[in-house]
Every structure is written in structure tokens, then in C-alpha cells.
Amino acid sequence: MWSSHLRNFLSRWHAKSAVDARQNADVRRALVESLYASPLSLAIGAVAGSAVSAVVAFTAKDTFITGVAALLCVIAVLRAVSSYYFHRNLKKGRAEGSRSWELAYELGAWVYAALIGLMAFAALVRSDNAIIHLLTVSVAAGYAGGISGRNAGRVHIAIGQGILTLAPTAIGLWSVDSITYRILAVSVVLLILSIAEISSTTHRVVLEALNGKHQKSLLAAKFEKLARYDSLTGVENRMAMQMRIRDMFDESNGERDGLAVIWMDLDRFKEINDSLGHIVGDQLLVLVAEKIGQALGDRGTVARFGGDEFIILCRQTSRPDAAEVAKDILDYLAEPIEIGGHHLTVSASIGIAVAPQDGHDRDEILQHADMALYHAKHGGRNRFSLFEWSMKERFHRVREIEAGLRKAIERGEFKMHYQPIFDIETGQVACCEALIRWHHPVLGDVSPGEFIPIAESISMIGPISEWVLGQACASAAQWPDDVRVAVNISPALLRAGDLPRTVIACLYSSGLKARRLELEVTESVFLEDNAQTSQILRELRRIGLRMALDDFGTGYSSLSYLRSYSFDTIKVDQSFLAGIDKSFEDRAIIRAVAHLARDLNMDTVAEGIETHEQLRYAKEAGFTNLQGYLLNKPMSDDAILKLLERGEGAPPASMWSGMPSSQSINETADAGALALRRDAS
Ligand code: C2E
Ligand code: MG
Ligand code: MG
């Protein structure tokens, strides 16, 4: 029975030791701390042990016992001192070498226990003084009982000490030829077993408590990480960034001086997300966060503000330094990225505001960095802007326009105006360009040149264009059958993809023939060679619509567009006509384009005719159509109907007199082409 109990106990002890071995550093450290947890009990043990040893040594008058007692006193003092130092180091946070503290404690504990056991054994064997027997056996039993609880944190120490103390005591008791002593010897052996049991049970409870505490702290750390860091990119999140910037502003001693807020937004991220899917979008964000980190180095911290926006905070940074950081980020982003077989080139727009000159509190500096970002986006993207106070005014106007645009259709604030485009041969109106007009209740008339780009940026261009197309088709359906209507189509609308559906719906509801609708697109639609854009342009042509290339000469003006997309009309930008009296180059370009278009069998519209000189020159250069204030300004729906039906308000017939002969046109055009060639060489 005893052996099975002992086996049982030993196997449990081993199992616990294995668990002990698996304990991570934190739990181990806590357990070692528990050994030294009560320096007072250690001191009391040391004092009691020393006092009893002294009495025993004095009474027994035996050299061996005196030697053991002296050694016991020395060890007791050393242990009390080591406990004191452990606590001092712990307070200073230097208890990390817990393994050596544990060994020191273990050694001291075992030597001390062995000496107590040895003293009891020696007293029982070498002396027949019952008082000494009583004292030494009680000290051994009391000590063993005490350590079973005290050292349960390291269970093998507690059990080892129990055995070292009580085993010699039991042997000593057994060696005395007395039944009473022998019964006591057996009791002492039983005491060893119960001490082992108590220690291991207490140890298990302590261990479970410590493990629970450890798990809780791990969980707390995990939650803190979740709360502070963006789960996708691993950089700080919006909340952490806001706390960081608040702390920076709260800090005294002028820390906020030179705090740069660099606000970055990826260009056209939504398109990547929509066309390639969210998984690619997510991977892109992760790579972008990495690239920002690489570009930034240790100059600041980066946080994901949400979506595709990142905020970088740099302390003690001047405006030029912040601009340098932004430039580095743009350079890093410019390197091509490959995700899942897709080769992506990404760019970003960046706004920078630096405290204290650009803002005095957290909200203001963030708002100003946002304004600078807006400026960068509208300045053409892939760039950074430093905040300027003048941006504030513009920003508020833009915000007002944005808010107004969202309600303008339902409030009926838009109107359509139409500007005639004349056939140069006949002097008749061939087409009318539909131009939107908006009267804002507070801002008054806002030009489409200003609000159309804003409508594009807030995704309002779709509904607005739908409204324009509906109005233009309905008006044109009232006009003579040989007059077309030209509608401006924003590049953003072509990218969105549902234009053909809208066009068909408008043609259907107005009854307008497709050949009478012309869509004007600018060269900017070709800036990104987007397969979807080409597909939509071809679909629109299949429906039977005419296509015009508007503002030709202001973008890339690549002749390859003319070849690939077979436009019906080229509209040369008004800036060229405006420059004819001063610029030889403008004159040469105008003539060359007119000549080229004629050979490609396309119509050419000279936009922005304001003077008789421009009119004469456009005729000479060989344009087929003319548009401009000199002929007619854009006019209301009623006015254009009167002009088309009754000729009311039409330019005088004299305007068309003195047209150059076709031969002189050819000569002029050839001269222009020659001039261009000369220019190129
Ligand atoms: P655009 O398509 O090049 O339109 C011609 C612009 O030149 C119009 O300005 C017109 O009023 C103006 N214009 C015509 N003749 C002359 C002239 O002799 N001298 C001068 N200085 N200007 C002349 P507007 O109406 O302010 O439109 C500006 C731009 O806004 C348009 O340029 C077009 O790109 C855009 N836009 C206008 N309406 C719409 C629309 O309904 N949808 C879209 N997406 N864009 C529109
Ligand atoms: Mg136009
Ligand atoms: Mg134009």
C-alpha cells in the first residue's frame, strides 16, 4: 500500500515537473517570486532555528552537534540576506535572472533542511537528553510542516526539504530503543507523505491561479493590440493615431513644435478594388503600408486612417523635411507592384500640415492636412501639397458646391443651354452643343468648368450626366431633323461603364435618332489605356452615335487615338484660336490639324471664335465647322428653338461672305503642314 502510494505520488510529481518545465518564463518568474514572497517567515525561521540550535548545542555539549548548530546559524543568516537582496532587485525591476535566484534559494533551502535533519539525528543518536530530543524533533517537524505550504511554488524544493529534514529525524527516532520513539518515527514518515501531498496540492492550485493570471494578461495584450493596430496592414489604426497626436499636443515643453501630419490617399484605389476584387485590394493595402514604412524609416509613425488613407506623424519636422518624407513615399510607391499575376502601378496624393504654423490643435492640424490632400488630388494626383491658408477658403467653397450638387437635381437648379455649331459651307446650324448651367442658391452661377470636376470626385457625375442626356435628347427631338445635339461626356462616366444603357434609354424616351446625338469626349479618357473605355466607345458607335474629340491639343494629342477610335469630329481647343494673332506655332498647328482631319474624312470644329480675324483664319485653315461667341453664345432651350425654326438671333449673313476658295484653303493647309515639319526638324 505504501509503495503504491509512493509510486502514485512520484508519478504525479513527475507529471507536475513536466508541466513545470513547460511553464513559460512569466509563470516561472512568478513562482520564484513566491519562494521569496515572505521574507518575514524566512527571518522567523532563521531566528527560531538559530535559537534552538544554540540551546541544543549549549545543553548537549557535543562538538559535532555544536558544529552543525553553528553551520545552521550561518546558513540561516545567508538565506535571510539573499531574500532581502532578491526583494530589492525585484523592486528595481532587475529580477530577470530568476533561474539563478531559484538555484540560490534551492541550494540554501536544501542545505538548511539537511542541517535541521542532521541536528535532530545527531541529538537523538549522540545524546540521551529527552529535552534536546523534544526540541530538535519539534523543530524538524515544525520546519517541515511550514515549508510544505511556504515552498509549494516550487514543489520539488518543498518535498526535497521535507525528506531531508524528516528522514534523518525518523531514522534517529527509530534508532532509539524505545517503542514510543519508534511510533514517533513512523508518524514522522507519515508526515513526509502528507507534506508531499499538501505541497503538491497547494502547488497545483498556485499554478492554476498563475496560469489563469498569465492567460488573462495575454488576452489583455491581444485586445490591446486589436484595439491599437489595423488588423489588415498591421500598422496603427485611426484610434491609436488620434491618441498619439492628442498626446503629442498634450505634451508640454513645446514637443508639438514641428509636428508634421502627412495625410496620404491612394489614387484610384476604388477602381482597383472594383475591377480586380477586394482580395487584390487588400493585398495592395498591405504592400502599400510596407512601402510607407520602408520610405519613412525611423522618421515617424504610420497609421491606417481607414480605407486607402494613411496618416504619417513625424515629430520635430520642418515643412521641407515633411515634403522630403512625402516625396520618398511617392518614389517608393512608384515602383510597380505585382499581386496575383496583376501588374499594378499605384500612386498617391499627399497633404501635409505642420504644427504650429499650420494649426494649433489636433483637429485643426488634421483638417488642414486633409485640405492639402484635397488640393493635391485636384491638382492632378500623384503629388503632395503643403497646406496654405488660402486653401481654406477654396476648401469651404468646394464643400458648399459638393453639398449643393447632391441636391441640385431634385431642387431643379440645373438648366441646359445650347450653343450652335455652324457648317462653314452653308452657314447653317449643323449641331448644338449642350452646356449645363447651375444657379446655386448662395454661390450664384457656378460654371461647369468648376463644378463638373467636383461632381466627378463625389461620384455625382453619373446622375448629372443622365439628367443632361435626357434634357438634351428631349430638346433636340423638337429641332429640325438635320440638326444634331452634342453632349459632353466626362471621362469618369466612360470608366463607370453604364453609359450605353443610359444613352439608349434617353434616345428611346425622346424618340431622337441615334445619328443626331454626338458625344464629346476629351483626350483625357485615353490617359489610362483602359480596355473598358475602348469597349464602351465602340459600343456607343455601334448604337449609331457620332463621336467628337473635344478640346483637341490640350492633352496628349496623340494621332494614334484618331487612327484607333475613328472619331467623326475633332474640336480644336479654343486656346489655339485665341493665340493665332500672336503665335506662329498655334497657326501652324491649327492648319495641320484641319488638313489631317480632312484627309481622314473627319469634321473639324474651331472652338472659341470671338473675333472676325479668328473667323477668317478658321475658314482659311479649312475647318468645316465653327463655334464661338462671335456667332452665338450658349442660349436657353426656347432661344435655340427660335433660332433653329425662325432664324431669330442668327449671325448676320455677312459673316459668311468672303469665304476663301478651296484652292487657297489647300495651299494654306499645305503651308501649315510644311511649317509643322520645319518645326519638328
Ligand atoms: P467645352 O466642352 O469645351 O465647352 C465649350 C466651352 O467654351 C463652354 O463653356 C462654352 O460656353 C465656352 N465657349 C464657347 N464659345 C466661346 C468663345 O467664343 N469664347 C470663350 N471664351 N468661351 C466660349 P462652359 O459652358 O463654361 O463649359 C465649360 C466646360 O464644362 C465645357 O467645355 C465642358 O468640358 C464642361 N461642360 C459643360 N457642360 C457639361 C455637361 O453637361 N457635362 C459635362 N460632362 N461637361 C460639361
Ligand atoms: Mg464640349
Ligand atoms: Mg471644348
162, 136, 138, 137: which is closest to 149 by C-alpha?
162
Three-state SS at 485: strand
DSSP string computed for 391-441: HHHHHHHHHHHHHHHHHHTTTT-EEEEEEEEEETTT-SEEEEEEEEEEEET
574 Cα to the center of ligand 1, angstroms: 10
Task: Check pLDDT > 60 for residue 125.
Answer: yes
Provide the strand spans (E) within 442-552. 444-446, 484-488, 517-522, 546-552
Residue with CA nearest ligand 1 atom 37: 435
419-436+462-680 CATH pick, 3.20.20.450, 3.30.450.20, 3.40.50.300, 3.30.499.10: 3.20.20.450
- What is the rounded CA–CA span in Å between residue 327 and residue 308? 18
Distance (Å) from CA 337 to ligand 1 centroid: 39
Please provide the average confidence, as pLDDT, over all residues in the chain.
Answer: 85
Q: How many Å from the N-terminal Cα to the C-terminal Cα in the chain? A: 113
As a whole-number percent, the residues of the chain with pLDDT over 70 amount to: 87
Q: pLDDT tens, 466-487?
A: 999 999 999 999 999 999 999 9
Nearest-CA residue for atom 41 of ligand 1: 436
Which ligand 1 atom is nearest residue 609's CA? 18
Domain ranges of the chain: 10-222, 238-387, 419-436+462-680
Helical segments of 600-661, H only: 612-621, 637-646
* Cα–Cα distances in angstroms (integers) from residue 28 to residues 18, 37, 149, 155, 292, in the given order: 13, 14, 18, 12, 40
Domains 238-387 and 419-436+462-680 belong to one CATH topology: no
Q: Which of 435, 569, 617, 640 to mutate to test the pocket of ligand 1 (most atoms within 8 A of CB)?
A: 435
The CB of 550 under 6 Å from ligand 1? The reply is yes
Measuring from atom 31 of ligand 1, which residue has the nearest CA? 449
Mutate to test the pocket of ligand 1, among 436, 461, 488 (most ligand atoms within 8 A of CB): 488
531-585 pLDDT per residue, tens: 778 888 889 999 999 999 999 887 666 777 777 777 899 999 999 889 888 888 8
Query: Cα separation of 102 and 252, whole Å?
Result: 44
Residue 529 pLDDT? 58
Tell me which ligand sits closest to the C-alpha of residue 627: 1
User: Which residue minimizes the CA distance to atom 42 of ligand 1?
Assistant: 488
**Cell 485611426, residue located:** 238
What is the model's pLDDT at position 299?
95
User: CA 622, 625, 626: angle at the middle one, nearest 5?
Assistant: 105
448 lines ligand 1 (CB under 6 A): yes
In the reported structure, the alpha carbon of residue 336 is separated from the centroid of ligand 1 by a whole-number distance in angstroms of: 37
pLDDT at 61 exceeding the cut of 90? no
- Produce one character per residue of 201-221: b if its CB has 16 or more CB atoms within 10 Å, e if not: ebbeebbeebbeeeeeeeeee
Residue nearest atom 21 in ligand 1 by C-alpha distance: 608
Give me ligand 1 centre to Cα 570, in Å. Answer: 15
657 pLDDT exceeds 80?
no
pLDDT in tens, 630-646: 999 999 999 999 999 99
- Domain 238-387: give its CATH code: 3.30.70.270
Q: Is the CB of 468 under 6 A from ligand 1?
A: yes
Of 1-5, 132-136, 275-279, 624-628, give the lowest mean pLDDT range.
1-5
Atom index in ligand 1 nearest the CA of residue 522 equals: 34
CA–CA distance, 602 with 349 (Å, rounded to integer): 39
- Which pLDDT value is given to residue 583? 85
Residue 672's pLDDT band (cuts 50, 70, 90)? very low
